[in-house]
Structure 1
Amino acid sequence: MRKLNFLQLVIGSILLTMFVAACSSKDAGKQSGEKDPSDIKVVFIPKMTGNAFFESGNDGAQEMAEKIGFKVKYDGAPEGTVANQVQIINSAVNSGADAIAISSVTSDGLNQALQRALDAGVKVVTWDSDVDPKYRSVYINQGTPDILGAMLVDMAAGQLENPNEPQQVAWFYSSPTVPDQNSWVNYAEKYIAEKYPNWEIVTKQFGEGNEQKSLQVGESILNTYPDIDMIICPDSTALPAMAQAAQNKGLNKEDVIITGFASPNSMRQYLENDTIENHGLWDVKDQGALAVYIAYYLAQGHELKVGNTVEVPGMGEVKVEPNSVQGYEYKAEDSGIIVLPERIVFTKENTKDYNF
C-alpha cells in the first residue's frame, strides 16, 4: 500500500512539472503581468471635436486599435476649453480607463486633473499639443519648434520672387496660450529676424478654434491691413477660415500669400481654385495611431525610458528622445518625446494623393 502511494506521488509530481512547463512555454512571449489587449481601454482626447484634423487623428487611432485588439474611446467636446478637458480626464479616470492620449489646450491648466489620473494608475500620453512634461510619459510630437517654425516661414518665403524685400506679415492661429502653436510661432519669429529682417509682423490674431469667429477674424485682418503681404496660420481652424475670407473678397494667391497647417481635405478646394499656393501638415492619422499604440504599450505594463526604441505595427521603429528636443528643462528617465519622422507640403499637384 505504501509502495502504491509513493508511486502515485511520483507520477503526480511528474504530471505537475509537465503542466507547469507547458504553461511557461505558452506564456514565454508575455511579460509578467501583461494584460490581454482586449482588456485595455485608451481614451483618445482631441482639443475639440468636429474639426477635420482631430477627426482624422481619431481615424488613425481607431484603425490601430482594431488592428491590435484594444479599445479606444474618442472623447472630446465641440469647444476646446480647459474646463471641458478636465471633465473628460476625470471621466476617463472614473470609468476605469487604462490610459489617455490627449491633445491639450493648455500647457499647465490640466496639471491637477492629470496628477489625479497618474495617482489612479492611468498612463498619460500627449499628442499634437503637450502639457507640462512632469504630468505625462511620452509626447507624440509632430515636429520640434525649430522644424515647424522654419517650415511655416519657408512655405511663405518660397512664394516670393525676392523674399529679402520688405513684407507685412500677420500671424493667425487659435489662442495666445495653446502650447504647440505658440512654440512654433516663437521660433518662427526668431527665424524671420535672422533670415528675413525686412519682414514686419504687423498683427497677431486668434480665432479660439471656432469656425465662425475665425472667419470673422480673417475678414477683419484683410479689412484692417489691405496691404498685407502674407498671413501665416499654424492652426487647422484658422487656415481654412482665412482662405475662405480671402475667397469671399475675390482675392487669390497673387494678391496675398496665405499658408499654414491644416488637413488636405479641408484645404483642397483652396489649392485647386488658386486661393492659396501651398500649406503643410504631417500625417495626423499616423500621429493618432502612434499616440494610442504608445498609450496601450504603457498600459500593458511595459516601461519606456529616454533612449528606448519601440517597434510599432505598420509604422516601424520609433525612439524616445529627451524632453530637451522640445526646449524643455525637465529631465526624467520615464518622460520623453517621440517625433514623427516626416512632414508634408501640400500643393495643387500632390493634394489628391492624400485623404485625411
Structure 2
Amino acid sequence: MFTNGVRLFLLVTTVAVLAACGGAPAAAPTSAPAAPTAAAEAPTAEAPAAAGANYVLVPKNLGNPYFDTANNGAQEAAKELGVTVTYQGPATADATQQIQLLNSLIAQKVNGLAISADDADALVPVGKEAIDSGIPVVTWDSAIAPGGRQVHINQAVSADIAAVQIQMASDLAGGEGQIAILSATSTAPNQNEWIDLMKTELAKPEYAKLELVDTVYGDDDDTKSYSEAQGLFKKYPDLKVIIAPTTVGIAASARAVQDGNLIGKVFVTGLGTPNQMREYVKSGAAPQFALWNPGDLGYLAIYTLDAIHTGKIKGNPGDTFTAGKLGDYTIDPDGVVLLGKPTIFNKDNIDSFDF
C-alpha cells in the first residue's frame, strides 16, 4: 500500500477487565463536558491571501477535538510546504451545511479541498463540480463516494478498525454479555462502514456469547451522546459495554458511566484521543480504546492535496509521492492512501501520548 518511512502505529496488548456491580445511572450530568477547542475559521470566512497555494481543510463539523487535532497536523504540513491551509466547516455535522460551504469555497477559487464528508453520496455533485473547476479534492477520515473526489486518505483499514473495537469490547465484557454501539450521525460513511464490519466480526465463533442489543446515534453532539448513553443504561440493565466509534461519543459515554457510578458495571470503548480519554482510562470508565493519530491524518491529507495541485501526481492509482516526515505513499487501486494501523491505548501507555 505504501513504502518505507511511513509512521505506523502498532497495536499493543489489550487489557482484560472483569465486570463488577455498580449503582444506578444519574438522570443528568454531574460534571461539565470538556470545552471544545476553538475553531480556526468560521464557515463563511473568505479564502486567505497568501504567496503560496490556498487549501481548505473541511471537517464534518467545528468544535470537535478530533478534527482540531487533524487541523494541527494540516498546519504543520502547510508550514513545511509554504502554503496556507484554512480550517472551515459547518457548525454541526450536517451534509447540507457542508455542501453550502463547499459551494462558497469553489466560488472563491481556492486551490484545493481536503474534506471529511458528512454524507458520502450527497457530496458527490459538489465534489465533482470542484474537480471540474480545476480544484483538487482529497477526502480524509470520511470519504466522498468515487466521482466526487480524487483520492481518499484512509486512517486505517476499515476491517482492522472494526476488529479492534470488537476485540476490546469482548475483553471488557469477559467474552460474554450485552454490548451496544453509540455512533455519530446515521449518515456518516465511515461510521456506517465500521458498524457493518463490527457486525460481521461479531458473527465469528469467538464472539458467539456477545449480544449486540442496540445501535444509537449521538450525532457527534456531546449532550445528545451523553443522553443516549444514559438511555442505554436504563433500557438494558445488564449492558456490559458501549462501543463508541466517535471521539465525541466515547468521551460523553465514559462521562455518563462515571457520573452514574457505573464504573465496573458498564465499560466504554471505541475510538478516542488520549488527551480527552486519559481521565476515563484512569478511572476505569473506559479502560481501553483505540485510534490513529489524527494529526498525521490532517498532515497527510495536505501533502496529498499539494502533490496533486503542484502536478507531482495526478491522483491516479499507482502514483507515488513523499509526505514529509511520514515518508512515501502509493495510491492503491481503489484510489485510497492508507495512513496505518490503529493503536490501543490503556493505563500502561496513555501518558506516552499527547494529542
**TM-score (normalised: structure 1):** 0.83
The aligned counterpart of 2:178 is 168
Preserved CA contact (<8 Å) 1:321 1:337? yes
Which one-letter code corresponds to 1:265 in the other structure? N
CA offset digits 1:164-222 (Å, max 9, x no partner): x4x11111111222110111110111111123122211111000111111111111111
Greater C-alpha radius of gyration: 1
User: Is 1:151 aligned to residue 161 of structure 2?
Assistant: no
Unpaired segments ≥5 residues, structure 2: 1-49
**Aligned mate of 1:48, from 61, 68, 89:** 61
**Aligned mate of 1:305, from 290, 293, 316:** 316
CA offset digits 1:78-134 (Å, max 9, x no partner): 211011111121121111211100000111111221122112111000000001111
2: CA distance, partners of 1:77 / 1:114: 16
Between 1:226-235 and 1:193-202, the stretch displaced more is 193-202
1: CA distance, partners of 2:91 / 2:273: 18
Q: Percent identity?
A: 31
Which one-letter code corresponds to 1:62 in the other structure? Q
The aligned counterpart of 1:215 is 226
Which one-letter code corresponds to 2:110 in the other structure? A
Report the Cα offset of residue 321 of structure 1. Answer: 1.1
Report the Cα offset of residue 231 of structure 1. Answer: 1.0
**Aligned mate of 2:209, from 195, 198, 205:** 198
Which one-letter code corresponds to 2:332 in the other structure? E
User: Is 1:78 aligned to residue 88 of structure 2?
Assistant: no
Unpaired segments ≥5 residues, structure 1: 1-36, 324-335
Aligned CA distance change for structure 1 residues 119 and 308 (closer, same or farther; 3 Å) = closer
Report the Cα offset of residue 160 of structure 1. Answer: 4.4
**TM-score (normalised: structure 2):** 0.83
3-state SS of 1:229 partner: strand
Report the Cα offset of residue 241 of structure 1. Answer: 0.6
Preserved CA contact (<8 Å) 2:321 2:329? yes
Q: CA RMSD in A?
A: 1.3
The aligned counterpart of 2:350 is 351
**Aligned mate of 1:106, from 115, 119, 125:** 119
Report the Cα offset of residue 159 of structure 1. Answer: 3.0
The aligned counterpart of 1:142 is 155
2: CA distance, partners of 1:249 / 1:257: 12
3-state SS of 2:147 partner: helix
User: What stretches of structure 1 move > 6 A for 4+ residues in a row?
Assistant: none
CA offset digits 1:277-328 (Å, max 9, x no partner): 10110010000000011111111123232122211111111121122xxxxx
Report the Cα offset of residue 73 of structure 1. Answer: 0.6
**Aligned mate of 1:271, from 264, 281, 295:** 281
The aligned counterpart of 1:22 is none
2: CA distance, partners of 1:213 / 1:257: 19
Which of the pair has the greater relative contact order for Cα pairs under 8 Å at 6+ separation? 2
